Structure 1
Amino acid sequence: MKAKVYVMLKQGVLDPQGEAVRHALGALGFDGVDKVRQGKVIELDLAEGTTEETVTEMCEKLLANTVIESYRIEI
């Protein structure tokens, strides 16, 4: 069983990495990029029977900093 966890900074949290990517794209001639938000994708290979609640607990305890990040789970 596989799960993907998408972690992004919450709206309103400064994203310096995204801003650096936006700036670099402009420097390379890619005009029209107004905003970039950088995140991460975590792929998990799980034992059969692992519940989404267990994956949620993993996110809450380790995979996401819930103070500044939000996450979405796909099973």
Structure 2
Amino acid sequence: MVWLIPLIALIAGGWLLVKDIRNRGPVVTLLMDSAEGIEVNNTVIKVLNVDVGRVTRIKLRDDQKGVEVTAQLS
């Protein structure tokens, strides 16, 4: 009987983890000349004034001719 509460907590945690993974959208990479005004976890991606994602990473491109902006869509 003592193990019933941890077992229920484990099942609920697993269900929440699976639900979170299934609700995530695709990750997109945008190649841009400059990242001026873009902030990680602060800049929102919008389409027709609807928030569809957030910037998760900004990286200098390998050819040094711009930046690679990664965004997680919802």
- Of structures 1 and 2, the larger Rg is shown by 2
Q: TM-score, normalised by structure 1?
A: 0.30
Q: TM-score, normalised by structure 2?
A: 0.30
RCO higher in 1 or 2 (8 Å CA, sep ≥ 6)? 1
Q: Which has the higher helix share?
A: 1
Q: Which has the higher strand share?
A: 2
